[in-house]
Amino acid sequence: MKQGVAWEEGIAKGAAVAAWRLPHSAEAFLLQDFSGGTLLKEGWNLSDLAAGFLAAPFIGLPYFLQADSLTTFSLGNAGPKALAESSVENSSKKSEFMGWVAAAIQTIKQGPLQKVVLSRTDEQVLPADFKVMTALEELGAAYPSAFICALSIPALSGIWMCATPEILVEQNAEGIFRTISLAGTQSGVDGDGFAISPSQARWSQKEIEEQAFVSRYIIDCFKKIRLREYAEIGPKTISTGNLLHLKTEYLVDTKAMDFPQLPGLMLGLLHPTSAVCGTPKQEAVEFILATEKHDRLLYSGYLGPVNLSNTTHLFVNLRTVEIKGNQATFYAGCGITEDSDPAKEWQETQMKCQTLQRILMQ
């Protein structure tokens, strides 16, 4: 696997390296920034960046990887692995997380917080034969509708991998801008291990309202920049491997509106979205920082290629894992409203961790 050699050689030479495949694509990319990547400064502008790759944390400035070297390759035809549960329930973590959820519910009932997204981690030891590019190939086969990525930036001293379905900001060569509202989660597999059709999904009021918070947040961002001409498609149920979600798409023709700066403006307004943070944003961020004991780092940030062939594809970094040596830290979160059940929210994070664990840990 030539790209595997290029990946390892790039890291050994101190380069920042990103390998990715867009949803529903057979073509993958491997980019190297020989300088190790650049931490952008306040006031940076998306349209001013050269062709490259962006990776931003939940809170803070993004890293930019310039495309000093960019090659394309195929991820191959590796078959997806079985839908086996690989996550072992940790009773102390479960108790702690359910306590966070219970505290969030009480805070929401008191107001003004309406929704908050809480996350947790799950630490596991990787198999002895684990290879990043082999795992990327297997993720690509298992999740054709997700953005698949492996990323190494020297300043972060680790490798990040993700398989995320959530577009944050996207613009194609024709100038069509797109963002999505994605929230609400249920298992995409029945008790016998068979996939559940999206048409069979039944959503609770809590899940419908959780997704509506995200949709309203996007529309509020449009209002802030006085954007009224947009198409809204959804909500509808989508399948992402072992999970089902509610999704609404928002489309804007930036060329027809003569609005080329829209992607950069919306990126600044949207991140972090209520899908990974909560509503109102400031109150949600404060609750998260005061409650969670781990640093989210790149989890619930955003990443993806920018200004490549006049296109930009930035995704929220969900279903993600941080790898250091043979240690893997999986991140997962869930949206809490006043109708949440702590035990069900814990189970949701279990399902989300398994998105990557069932591929990487077997």
Does residue 182 lie in a domain region?
Answer: yes
Whole-number pLDDT of residue 198: 87
Question: What pLDDT is attached to residue 174?
Answer: 97
pLDDT of res. 168: 98
Task: Determine, yes or no, domain membership for 83.
Answer: no
Token couple for 157: 């001293």
Number of domains in the chain: 1
Spans of the chain, pLDDT less than 70: 1, 76-88, 241
Evaluate whether residue 84 is within a structural domain.
Answer: no
pLDDT for 195 equals 82
DSSP one-letter string for 180-237? EEEEEEEESB-TTSPBPPGGG----HHHHHHHHHHHHHHHHHHHHTT----EEEEEEE
Whether 82 maps to a domain, the answer reads no
Examine residue 81 and state whether it is found in any structural domain, yes or no. no
Smallest CA-to-CA distance from 162 within 271, 272, 249, 240 is with 240
Q: Give me the pLDDT at residue 84, please.
A: 46
pLDDT at 362: 76
pTM, two decimals, is 0.94
**pLDDT on residue 83:** 43
Q: How far apart are CA 291 and CA 339, in angstroms?
A: 19
- Residue 86 domain flag: no
End-to-end Cα separation, the chain, in angstroms: 20
Residue 293 has a pLDDT of: 96
- Give the residue numbers spanning the domain of 8: 2-76+91-360
Buried b (16+ CB within 10 A) or exposed e, 146-170: bbbbbbbbbebebbbbbbbbbbbbb
User: Within a domain: residue 155?
Assistant: yes
Is 85 part of any domain?
Answer: no
CATH at residue 168: 3.60.120.10
Could you tell me how many residues make up the chain?
362
User: Which pair of tokens denotes residue 159?
Assistant: 């490798």
At residue 302, φ and ψ (nearest 5 deg) are -140, 160
Paired tokens of 13: 């030479």
